Structure 1
Amino acid sequence: MIAWRHQEARAAWLLMSPALLGLGAFILLPFALALVMSFTSLRLGSPLSVEFVGLDNYREAFADPAFRRGLLNNALFALIVVPIQTALGLALAWLLDRQLRGRWLFRTLLFMPVVFPLSLVAVIWVILFAPGPDGLLNGVLSALTLGAWTPRDFLNDPVWALPAVMLTSIWQGTGFQMVVLLAGLQAIPRSLYEAAAVDGAGAWRQFWHVTLPGLRNPLIFVVIVTTILSFRVFDQVRIMTRGGPQDASTTVIHEVVRTAFDRGQVALAGAMSVIFFLLVLGLTLVQRWSMRQREEGR
C-alpha cells in the first residue's frame, strides 16, 4: 500500500513537472531577477557601473505621479470591468442555456472576440473610436440622438480615454466568462429546478436559490481570473492611447514598459514590477480568503 502511494506521488510529480518548470521559468525566475535589479542602479546603455542603492528605486516609484496614476487606473479598471463583464457573461450564458434555435451560432459569435489577438481588437476599436463625424461610433451616437451628439475624439480626451479602453476590454473578454458560466449552468441538475417549481418558486427565486449556489465555483474562478487579467491590461493601452492623454489611461504595466524601454531605467521598472506583483498577489489571496469564508458561512 505504501509503495503504491509512493509510485502515485512520483507519477503526480512527473505529470506536474512541465507546469512547474514553466511556472519557475516564466514567473518565479523573472520575479527574482526583477527583485534583485530593483536594489541596483542598472540602466540600459549606461556606461556607469551598477551599484547597490537600497530602497531608492521603491521611493522613486511611489513618488512618480505616472506610477500612482497607473495604480489608480488599474483599480478603477478592475472595479468597473470585472462586475460588468461577469454580469454580462452570466446573462449571456443564461440566455444560451435556454432552448433557442441557432444557439451554436450565437455561442460562436459571442466567443469569437476572445480568440482574436488583443492587438487586432485594439486596432478595430481605434477605427470605431475615430474622431469627428466620420467616426463610426460618433456617427451612430449622432443618429441615435438626432444630431444632438457632439462628435468627440474619445481616445485623446482625458475623460473618455480610460472608459474607451474599458469598453474594448469588456467586448473582448465577456465571451470567456460566458463559456465558463454556461458550462456551470449545464452542470446544475434539472431536478433541482423541478423541485423548486413544485415548491412554488418562481423564476427569480429559482435563479437566486438554485442557479447562483450552483454557479458558486465557476463564479469564483471567473471573478479571480478576470481580476488578475484586468490588472495586467497593457496591449489596449499601448495601441489605443499610449497611456495618454496626460496619463489619463496609463496602467502600471504600461508604466513599467515605458520606464524600462523608453527611458532605460531598468532598475526602477523592476521596483515597479515587484510592487505591482505583491499588490496583485495580496489582492488575489484576500479575494480567495473572503470567498472561502463566505462558502463556509453558508
Structure 2
Amino acid sequence: MNRLITQLTKGKNTHIVFITPALIGLFLFLGIPFISAIILSFTNLRLGSPLPLEFIGLEQYYRILKDPAFLRALLNNGIFALVIVPVQTAIALGIAILLNQPLKGMAIFRTFFFMPVVFPMSLVSVVWILIYAPNPDGMMNSLMEFLTFGSWETTDFLRNSTFALPAIMLLSMWQGVGFQMVIILAGLQSIPENLYEAAAIDGSNKINQFIYITLPQLRNTLIFVMLVTSILAFRLFDQVKIMTEGGPNNATTTVMYEAVKAAFEQQKMAKGAAMTVVFFLVVLSITIIQRVVVKQERAID
C-alpha cells in the first residue's frame, strides 16, 4: 500500500491524487443531490398524490416566482444579508483588534467571545426566546425600559412584524461574530510588526496605522469573511423555524424555510426543489458579483 502511494505521488499530477477524495465526496453528497433537485423541479412530484409523475417544464418556477411568500422570503434574505454582512464584519474586526493586544489573560477573553459559535443554534434560539419574553421581566424589555427611562412599552419582539427580523439579526450576530473574529484575528497576527514600527518612527498615529497598514494587509481576509458571511446569511433557517415559524405575516420567512416547508410540510417536493435551485442561483450570482468587484479593485490598485 505504501509503495502504491509513493508511486502515485511521484508523478507530475500529484495534486490530483490528494484532491480526488474530496472531489468524490463533493460529487456524492452535493453534486448528485443538486442534480436530482434540478430534475425534480421540472416535474409535478408531490408525496402522497395519486397523480402520475409528469414533466411540466418551468411551471414550478413560474409558480414560486408568483408566490407572495417566496418573494417575501427573497426580500427578507436580502435585507438580512445587507445588514448582517457589513455590521457583523465590522464588529468582528473591532473585537479582533481589541483581542490582539499583548495582555495577560487575553486567551480567556478570546475563548469567551468564540464560545457562542460552538453552541447549537437550537439551544441559542431557545435562550433568546426567553430573552425576548413578552413581559416586563423579560431581559430585552427590561433593558429597553432602562434605556428609555421607563417610557418603553412591553413588546412581544418575536410576534411583532417590525421587530421580529431585527431580533433574529441580533441573535445571529451574537452567535456568529466569534467565527469571523477568529479569522480576522489570525489575519492581524500575520501582519509584520516592522510595518507598525516604521510607521511609528515616521510619526504616524494609531488611526493612520489602521487605515494605511491594517486594512490593506487584511484585505484578502476581510474579502473571505464577507463571502462566507454572505453565504451563511442566505442559509438562515434554524432561528426562523424555532423562534417565529416564518411569522408574523411572513416577516421572518426565508428561502430555506419556504423550501423546507414546501417539501416536508406540504409534501410538494418539486416545488421545494425549484426553490432550492433558485436559492443556489441567487447565492452563486452574489458570489460572482463580489469576485468581479474584488478583481476590479485589484486592477485599480
Q: Structure 1, residues 70-117: CA drift from partner, whole Å, max 9, x if none?
A: 000000000000111100000000001112332111100000011111
CA contact (8 A) 2:8 2:14 kept: no
Q: 1:33 aligns with which of 33, 36, 46?
A: 36
Following superposition, the deviation at residue 48 of structure 1 comes to: 1.3
Work out whether 1:160 is the aligned partner of 2:131. Answer: no
Q: Which stretch has the larger CA shift, 111-120 or 98-107?
A: 98-107
**Counterpart-to-counterpart distance in 1, 2:169 and 2:265:** 25
Runs of at least 5 residues in structure 2 that lack an aligned partner in the other structure: 1-6
Residue 43 of structure 1: aligned partner: 46
Q: Structure 1, residues 204-243: CA drift from partner, whole Å, max 9, x if none?
A: 1110110011101111110000000000010001001010
Aligned pairs (5 A) from 1:168-183: 168-183=171-186
Residue 73 of structure 1: aligned partner: 76
Q: 2:90 aligns with which of 70, 76, 87?
A: 87
Following superposition, the deviation at residue 5 of structure 1 comes to: 10
**Counterpart-to-counterpart distance in 2, 1:61 and 1:205:** 50
Following superposition, the deviation at residue 14 of structure 1 comes to: 2.2
- Secondary structure (helix, strand or coil) at the match of 1:70 reads helix
**Counterpart-to-counterpart distance in 1, 2:95 and 2:77:** 26
Q: 1:131 aligns with which of 115, 121, 134?
A: 134
Q: Structure 1, residues 238-287: CA drift from partner, whole Å, max 9, x if none?
A: 00101000000000000000111111111011111111101101110111
| Alignment-mate amino acid for residue 250 of structure 2 | D
**Counterpart-to-counterpart distance in 2, 1:170 and 1:24:** 32
**Counterpart-to-counterpart distance in 2, 1:284 and 1:253:** 18
Following superposition, the deviation at residue 184 of structure 1 comes to: 0.5
**Counterpart-to-counterpart distance in 1, 2:9 and 2:97:** 45
**Counterpart-to-counterpart distance in 2, 1:11 and 1:59:** 47
Residue 234 of structure 1: aligned partner: 237
CA 45–173 in structure 1, closer or farther in 2 if over 3 Å, else same: same
**Counterpart-to-counterpart distance in 1, 2:227 and 2:116:** 20
| Alignment-mate amino acid for residue 232 of structure 2 | L
CA contact (8 A) 2:44 2:55 kept: yes
Work out whether 1:113 is the aligned partner of 2:148. Answer: no
| Alignment-mate amino acid for residue 60 of structure 1 | R
**Counterpart-to-counterpart distance in 1, 2:222 and 2:288:** 16
**Counterpart-to-counterpart distance in 2, 1:288 and 1:268:** 31
Following superposition, the deviation at residue 149 of structure 1 comes to: 1.1
**Counterpart-to-counterpart distance in 1, 2:64 and 2:83:** 25
Percent identical pairs in the alignment equals 52
CA 247–185 in structure 1, closer or farther in 2 if over 3 Å, else same: same
Runs of at least 5 residues in structure 1 that lack an aligned partner in the other structure: none
Aligned pairs (5 A) from 1:276-295: 276-295=279-298
**Counterpart-to-counterpart distance in 2, 1:5 and 1:40:** 45
Residue 23 of structure 1: aligned partner: 26
Residue 249 of structure 2: aligned partner: 246
> TM-score, structure 2 length as denominator?
0.95
Residue 14 of structure 2: aligned partner: 11
- Secondary structure (helix, strand or coil) at the match of 1:277 reads helix
Following superposition, the deviation at residue 292 of structure 1 comes to: 2.2
Following superposition, the deviation at residue 202 of structure 1 comes to: 1.2
Residue 266 of structure 2: aligned partner: 263
| Alignment-mate amino acid for residue 145 of structure 2 | S
Q: Give me the CA root mean square deviation.
A: 1.5
